[in-house]
Amino acid sequence: MTEPQPDATEAAAHAPRDPDRLVRRAGLRGDPDQDQHFLVDDRVLDRIPGYLPEDADTTHVLEVGGGTGALTDRLLRVADRVTVVERDTRLAAFLREEFADDVESGRLTILEGDALEVDLPEFTACVSNLPYGISSEITFRLLPRGVPLVLMFQKEFGERMAAEAGTDEYGRLSVSAQHYGDVEVVETVPRKAFSPAPAVESVLVRVTPRDPDYEVRDEAFFLDFVKALFTQRRKTIRNGIRNTAHISGLSDPEAVVDAADEEVLRKRAGNMDPRAFAELTALADEHGR
């Protein structure tokens, strides 16, 4: 016996929205000057939600920079609720119209405003094609929330987030991001996947939150101390401590040098993993502040 087949209208109603058609319906072109590059590759869009960890809570997913809604559409298929933050008033209005049923049912909320300034709701995961101009600032607003993140970045930025100690890419960004979770580049996305095409390739990065295997008493001081030492990455830790008190906030850097192990003092910042930075920060906190 042959199984009945769904008719074409029903199948189309349940198919993911076509990203190129969404752009046409919105009547807006992406504007590189406004950091707008719409992701229009169906295959990439369909894969993105699947990069969340298997045990991720998708009760309430946040999307920063909804654009014309191609990713929003995919997120609504896996999440109970979605909140989109969109700065462009025209795109926010289009999203409310395009997804009127989901807005009406309460499954979709459109927050109009700058993601660096609006009050973000409580959310259980974040999946976003971020505006690259605010990549760093918004990432460090999201990381302390302790939820899974799948975020699109410029390739260089994403690779620096995931870099290991001792590599050329490893730096302040690597230590700071990996303080909050396990960071992985899960896919490289070509320029042609966007409209208009950006000047560089992009990557999707997954951050799986976890508690660090070290203790940090003062997180703000830890991050400032890491920042300070990486401004002197070509110098030894000894000289980095001495030269950056105006950044780290140390009142007695020489006391930290006297208390630190000689082997650590001979290293350079690029060869210190997050745990080593945490141990040195504790020493600096005790002896130098």
Per-residue pLDDT of the chain (289 residues), as tens digits, is 444 444 434 434 578 999 999 999 999 877 777 778 999 999 999 999 999 999 999 999 999 999 999 999 999 999 999 999 999 999 999 999 999 999 999 999 999 999 999 999 999 999 999 988 899 999 999 999 999 999 999 999 999 999 999 999 999 999 999 999 999 999 999 999 999 999 999 999 999 999 999 999 999 999 999 999 999 999 999 999 999 999 999 999 999 999 999 999 999 999 999 999 999 999 999 999 9
**pLDDT on residue 13:** 52
**pLDDT on residue 2:** 42
223 carries a ligand binding annotation? no
Give the whole-angstrom CA distance, residue 50 versus residue 56: 10
**pLDDT on residue 97:** 97
The DSSP string of 9-62 is: HHHHHHSPPPHHHHHHHHT----GGGT--EE--HHHHHHGGGGS-TT---SEEE
157 Rama class: left (phi>0) / alpha (psi -120 to 50) / beta: alpha
CATH number for 8-209 (one of 3.20.20.60, 3.40.50.150, 1.10.10.10, 3.40.50.2300): it is 3.40.50.150
Q: Which residues make Cβ contacts (< 8 Å) with residue 175, sequence separation at least 6?
A: 226, 230, 272, 273, 274, 277
Bridge partners, 125 (sequence order): 61
270 carries a ligand binding annotation? no
73 carries a ligand binding annotation? no
**pLDDT on residue 143:** 97
Q: What is the pTM of this model?
A: 0.91
C-beta separation of 50 from 111 below 8 A: no
271 carries a ligand binding annotation? no
**pLDDT on residue 221:** 96
Q: For 191, which DSSP code? A: G
**pLDDT on residue 35:** 73
Give the whole-angstrom CA distance, residue 235 versus residue 181: 28
Which among 88, 93, 114 is positioned nearest to 36, based on CA atoms? 88
Instruction: Return the beta strands (E) in 50-172 as ranges.
Output: 60-64, 81-86, 108-112, 125-129, 149-154
**pLDDT on residue 12:** 42
262 carries a ligand binding annotation? no
Give the whole-angstrom CA distance, residue 5 versus residue 161: 47
Beta-carbon neighbour count of residue 83 at 10 Å? Answer: 21
**pLDDT on residue 33:** 72
86 carries a ligand binding annotation? yes
Q: How far is CA 247 from CA 101, 238, 242, 273, 275, in A?
A: 51, 15, 11, 20, 21
Q: Sign of the CA dihedral 230, 232, 235, 241?
A: negative
